[in-house]
Structure 1
Amino acid sequence: MSANRDSASELGLDFFGNMTASISHELKNALAIVNENAGLLGDLALLMEKGRPLSPERLVSLAGNIRRQVQRADDIIRRLNRFAHSAHEPAASTDLGEVLAFTVALADRLATMNGVALTVEAGEPVTVEVRPFVLENLLWFCLQQLFTAAGSGTTVALAAEAEGATALVRIRCAAGTEVNAAATEVERTGQPLLAELQAQLGVAPTGDALLLRLPVRRVG
Structure 2
Amino acid sequence: MSDRDWTDELTCFGKVAASVSHEFKNHLATIREKAGLLSDLLAMQARGKDVSLARITQLALDVQKRTVHADEAVKRLNRFAHSVDHLREEVNMTEAVELATGLFFRLATMRGVELKVQPADDVMVLGSPFAIQQMLLACLDACTLTMSEHSVLGIGLLKKDGDAVVRFEGCKTVESAPLVALTQAQHARCDSGPDWFELHIPMA
The answer to whether 1:77 aligns with 2:74 is yes
C-alpha contact (below 8 Å) 1:97/1:125 kept by paired residues: yes
**1:134 pairs with 112, 131, 141, which one?**
131
For 1:86 and 1:58, the matched residues in 2 are separated by 43
Letter in 1 for 2:172: E
Correspondence for 1:198: 187
Alpha-carbon offset, residue 211 of structure 1? 1.9
C-alpha contact (below 8 Å) 2:167/2:198 kept by paired residues: yes
Correspondence for 2:28: 31
Correspondence for 1:165: 162
Letter in 2 for 1:13: L
Alpha-carbon offset, residue 118 of structure 1? 0.8
Under a length normalisation based on structure 1, what TM-score does the superposition of the two structures give? 0.83
Report Cα offsets for 1:65-115 as digits up to 9, x if no partner: 111111111111111111111133322111112111111111011001001
CA spacing shift, 1:97–1:70, aligned 2, 3 Å: same
For 1:170 and 1:145, the matched residues in 2 are separated by 13
Alpha-carbon offset, residue 191 of structure 1? 4.2
Unaligned stretches of 5+ residues in structure 1: 1-6
* Secondary structure of residue in 1 paired with 2:97: helix
C-alpha contact (below 8 Å) 2:190/2:197 kept by paired residues: yes
C-alpha contact (below 8 Å) 2:6/2:138 kept by paired residues: no
For 1:139 and 1:189, the matched residues in 2 are separated by 13
Correspondence for 1:208: 195
Unaligned stretches of 5+ residues in structure 2: none
C-alpha contact (below 8 Å) 2:111/2:144 kept by paired residues: yes
> 4+ residue stretches of structure 1 with deviation over 6 A?
7-10
CA spacing shift, 1:45–1:8, aligned 2, 3 Å: closer
Correspondence for 1:46: 43
The answer to whether 1:120 aligns with 2:117 is yes
Alignment of 1:10-29 (within 5 A): 11-29=8-26
**Higher deviation after alignment, 56-65 or 153-162:** 56-65
Under a length normalisation based on structure 2, what TM-score does the superposition of the two structures give? 0.89
**Higher deviation after alignment, 103-112 or 68-77:** 68-77
Correspondence for 2:140: 143
**1:105 pairs with 102, 111, 120, which one?**
102
CA spacing shift, 1:123–1:51, aligned 2, 3 Å: closer
Correspondence for 2:178: 189
For 1:9 and 1:122, the matched residues in 2 are separated by 26
C-alpha contact (below 8 Å) 2:41/2:51 kept by paired residues: yes
Alpha-carbon offset, residue 8 of structure 1? 11
Correspondence for 2:86: 89
For 1:112 and 1:8, the matched residues in 2 are separated by 18
Correspondence for 2:54: 57
Correspondence for 1:3: none
Structure with the greater alpha carbon radius of gyration:
1
